[in-house]
């Protein structure tokens, strides 16, 4: 079960940058093993923080314009947007506790 939504170069502005509150964008790729490791954690957090945090997934292979715009060079990269502004990021596969702490910090 997940509340995560897919975003693309075409809808990134409306789906993320024009949204109130906290949106966490997962920059990932199908071939990326660490991305697959954190995917279930993000799915769990998207359910636990439903109504407080939106989780979006952006495939870096299909959406290079947005990937380059935010200078994403390593994946997985989680970018935290609060009221449309980039406020934080987490690079690499990290434990659930670390991600949960970031969600709690910015969802408040």
Residues serving a catalytic function are 32, 35
89-to-1, 24, 61 alpha-carbon distances in Å: 24, 9, 20
In contact, 92 and 102? CB cutoff 8 Å = no
CA–CA gap between residue 19 and residue 41 (Å, rounded): 23
Q: Is 34 exposed, middle or buried (0-12, 13-18, 19+ CB in 10 A)?
A: middle
């Amino acid at each position: 079960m997940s509340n995560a939504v897919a975003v693309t170069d075409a809808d990134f502005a409306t789906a993320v940058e024009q949204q109130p509150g906290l949106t966490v964008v997962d920059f990932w790729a199908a071939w990326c093993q660490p991305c697959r490791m954190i995917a279930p954690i993000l799915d769990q957090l998207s359910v636990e923080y439903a109504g407080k945090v939106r989780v979006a997934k952006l495939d870096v292979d299909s959406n290079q314009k947005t990937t380059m715009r935010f200078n994403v060079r390593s994946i997985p990269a989680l970018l935290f947007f609060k009221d449309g502004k980039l406020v934080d990021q987490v690079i690499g596969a990290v434990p659930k506790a670390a991600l949960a702490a970031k969600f709690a910090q910015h969802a408040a």
